[in-house]
Amino acid sequence: MPIYFKYSKFYFLLILILCFSTRVDAESFQNKVMVLSDGYVKPIEGKEFLPGVKTDGARKVASTVALVQGKDTNLIVDPGMVADRSLITDSLKKHNVAPEAVTHIFISHHHPDHTVNIGLFPNAEVIDFWAKYKDDVWEDHPDNYEVAPGITVLKTPGHTKEDASLIVKTATGVYAFTHLWWFPDMGPKVDPLAWSQNEIEKHREKILEIADWIVPGHGKMFKNPKKQ
C-alpha cells in the first residue's frame, strides 16, 4: 500500500473524530441553567434546629429548585419543600415551560425537603443516584450517567449514602447541582447530618476540579473559588 494512501486514511479518520467531538460539544453548549427558587435552612426560635434530636424540633427549610434546559430536555432539579408551590410553577411560566412539558426530574438525595413536589410534573422521568423511574419501570443506570448531551449524574455520597450531583456543561461553564454544600458560603464545613464526612471531603474535591459554578442544596449559586 502506498504510504501516502495509508496516511490519507489516518487523517480522514482523524477529521471524522474531530467533527464528531465538535458536534457533541456544540450540543452540550445548548444547555441553559436557571434557578427557580433559592433554598434555605432557618431556625425557629425556641425549637431544636437539627432534625431527630427532639420530638418537638422544627425549622424552616426549602430546597434550591432549578430548571436545566437542553436538547429536547426540560429538567427540574430537587423539586422539594418551598414556602409556596407557585415559587416553582410561576417561575416555570416565565421560562415558557408548563409542568406537563418537564421531561426529567433529578433528585440529589431522598430527603423529603428535596422531593415532596415531584408530583407537580406528571410526565417526567425521575432520576436519582442509581436509577431512573417512569410509570412502573425502574431502570438502573451507571455512574456518570448521561441524561442528555452535556448533562450527567455523578455519584457523590456523603450527606447521605444515596447522594448524587448533576453536572451540566453550558456555554458559560460547568455547573454542579450538589448537596456536598448546603449554603453559598460553602458551609457547613462539617455536615451535622452527614452519613460520612470523609466521603463529603473526597467528593467536594472532585466537584471543585470539575465545576465552574456550584448550586448548593439550600442556597444561591456561587462561583467555584478554585477557578476565580
User: Per the confidence metrics, is the pTM higher than 0.75?
Assistant: yes
Sketch the domain layout of the chain as residue ranges. 28-43+58-227
pLDDT for position 93: 97
pLDDT for position 25: 55
pLDDT for position 54: 95
204 and 225 Cβ atoms separated by less than 8 Å = no
Of 148, 38, 23, the closest CA to residue 83 belongs to: 38
pLDDT for position 26: 46
Q: Which regions of the chain are under pLDDT 70?
A: 1-28
Of 42, 46, 81, 84, the closest CA to residue 59 belongs to: 42
pLDDT for position 27: 55
CA–CA distance, 111 with 157 (Å, rounded to integer): 13
pLDDT for position 228: 73
**Hey, is 209 helix, strand or coil?**
helix
Q: What fold characterizes domain 28-43+58-227? A: Metallo-beta-lactamase; Chain A (3.60.15)
CA–CA distance, 60 with 109 (Å, rounded to integer): 19
